Amino acid sequence: MLNHHSPTTVPKVIDIPRELAASQEKFNGEAGRAFIASLPDLTAGFLDRWELAPDGPPMHGVSALVLPVLRRDGTPAVLKLQILDEESEGEPVALRAWDGDGAVRLLDHDAPTGTMLLERLDETRMLSHVPDPHQAVTTTAELLAHLTSFPAPPGMRHLGDIARAMLDQTPWALDRIPDPEARRVVADCAAAVREVVDEPGDRLLHWDLHDENVLASDRAPWLAIDPKPLAGDPGFELWPALDNRYDPDDILWRFDAMTDILALDRPRARAWTLGRLLQNALWDIEDDRPLDDAQLEIARRLRKTRSGMI
């Protein structure tokens, strides 16, 4: 999601959004503070190197600064600056593989910093603005069906490694869940992952295709942005659309619609979706947060879809 407000002015270069500085401080500590401090010089350097002119106020998500720019020939684009980590380092690799087919087009990339020049989409027209949640789910599923038809490039981080690490962490996490029913839900999620962990898949996954990461464009009705890619089973992609505009009574309709559109085996897709809920629970426990009630309810409803447990 891109936001446009509360800047901290850096003269003659950019306005650094206060919310971005705060989120970098929260999630990345000293490295985040250093990244924020480096942004004025980093931005100025890439404006010069790639012959770009600023073309509007900066936008931001949780971790990246996105600056609207014009290229030397007047073509609109955006400059995206972010901390390089295991999630962001795969982004240009995935965007090159998709090459604008269902996703934003990568125009240039600096490997040492992770800085990217991207085509400019219409940030005022997000899929989250579509009034009908069923239409939004269908659109997300159609995009995912196309994006996951691509094999993952070599070297992409792998769902199998992530899943095995989650299972290794599960006993520690279960000991820290005081409520017996919630503990059973998380344990069942882990049990579902154990059933599929040896066949984690090899498709190119976006991983974070929620309805604010789908934007309209003049060249295509909808395009995906901001992937956190990995190689794996497309069933691991379904959770954001189950969670967007959360409605517990709509969970099973959404799950069935998405698995139909992606032509997925439902038991496997269910197992990998429960794996995504396990991942969210582990993060909550690591950060000493209570488990999210909506996440637990999604898991409960999916567990009941085939005569009880998977």
Question: Of 108, 110, 202, 208, which one is the catalytic site residue?
Answer: 208
What is the overall mean pLDDT for the chain? Answer: 93
Q: What percent of the chain has pLDDT over 70?
A: 94
Q: Using CA atoms, how far apart are residues 193 and 200, in angstroms rounded to an integer?
A: 10
With 80 as the cut, is the pLDDT of residue 244 above it?
A: yes
| Residue 306, pLDDT score | 55
With 60 as the cut, is the pLDDT of residue 140 above it?
A: yes
With 80 as the cut, is the pLDDT of residue 15 above it?
A: no
The answer to pTM > 0.85 is yes
Going from the C-alpha of 259 to that of each of 20, 207, 235, 252, 266, the distances in angstroms are: 36, 16, 8, 11, 6
Closest CA to 155 of 82, 97, 207, 212: 97
Closest CA to 4 of 64, 56, 59, 82: 59
Q: Is 208 an active-site residue? A: yes
For 77-95, what is each residue's pLDDT tens digit?
Answer: 999 999 988 888 999 999 9
| Residue 248, pLDDT score | 98
What average pLDDT does the segment 291-303 reach?
97
pLDDT band at 8 (very low <50, low <70, confident <90, very high): very low
pLDDT band at 11 (very low <50, low <70, confident <90, very high): very low
| Residues in a beta bridge with 81 | 65
More confident residue, 76 or 308: 76
Single-letter amino acid, residue 2: L
Strands 53-54 and 230-232: unpaired
Q: Using CA atoms, how far apart are residues 202 and 150, in angstroms rounded to an integer?
A: 9
| Residue 13, pLDDT score | 55
For 180-237, what is each residue's pLDDT tens digit?
Answer: 999 999 999 999 999 999 999 999 999 999 999 999 999 999 999 999 999 999 999 9
With 50 as the cut, is the pLDDT of residue 308 above it?
A: no
